[in-house]
Amino acid sequence: MKTCTQFSIFLNNKPGVLTQILQELGKAKVNIVTISMMDSMEHTVLRMIVSNPKEAHSLFKKLSVPVKVSDVLAVTLPNRPGAAADLCDRLAAAHINIGYMYCTGGARGGKTTVVLKVPDNKKAMKILDGAKSTRRDMKVKLRRPAATRR
C-alpha cells in the first residue's frame, strides 16, 4: 500500500484527443501504471498513474490540457472474489468515505491493485494496515436461537 500521484485530465470528447495524449506519453517514455476513463456530455475525465509523474506533468502543461493532480491510495489485494468488499468494509467501519475507485487487471503474483480516492490517505492506511484479518477470514460460531435449542 502506498500513496501515488494521480492525474485527472479533462479532455474534449472527440476522436483523436485521447490518442494524442497517449502518443505523447509514449514518445516521452512515460509508462502508464493505471488508467481509468469516464465520459460525460461535454468532456472525458482520464485518470492515470504514471511511472514518471514529473515528466508527465510538464508534458500535460506543454499540451495545454486541463489537469488536476491528486494523491491517491494504491492498495494491492489478492485477486479473489470479495477482496475489494473487505477493503471497503474496513474503511466504512472507520467512517472513511471512498470518493471513487478503480483497479488494475492484475499485478505481480496474481494480485490486483486498487486505486482509491479518500479524504485522508494516512488515516485510511492506518486502518488498512491495522486490520490484517478481515471479517471473511474470521470463523464465526453460529448458535441456534434459544427457543430451538434442545
For 38, which DSSP code? E
Distance CA 112, CA 105 (A): 6
Distance CA 69, CA 62 (A): 15
Q: Bigger pLDDT: 140 or 7?
A: 7
Alpha helices in the chain (DSSP H): 17-27, 53-62, 83-93, 121-130
Task: Go through the domains of the chain in sequence order and give each one's CATH number.
Answer: 2-70 (3.30.2130.10), 73-130 (3.30.70.260)
Q: With contact defined as beta carbons under 8 Å apart, do 47 and 35 qualify?
A: yes
Q: How many CB atoms neighbour CB 77 within 10 A?
A: 18
Statement: residue 1 has pLDDT above 80: yes
Statement: residue 140 has pLDDT above 60: no
pLDDT-above-90 percentage for the chain: 70
Question: What is the pLDDT confidence band of residue 14, given thresholds at 50, 70 and 90?
Answer: confident
- What is the rounded average pLDDT of the residues 105-129? 89
- Please report how many Cα atoms fall inside a 13 Å half-sphere around the Cα of residue 117, on the Cβ side: 14
Distance CA 74, CA 77 (A): 10
Q: Bigger pLDDT: 137 or 102?
A: 102
* CA-based end-to-end distance of the chain: 49
What is the pLDDT, as a whole number, of residue 143?
42
Longest distance between any two alpha carbons in the chain, whole Å: 77
Model pTM score: 0.80
Statement: residue 122 has pLDDT above 60: yes
User: How does pLDDT run across 28-86, given as a tens digit for each residue?
Assistant: 999 999 999 998 777 899 999 999 999 999 999 999 999 999 999 999 999 889 999 99
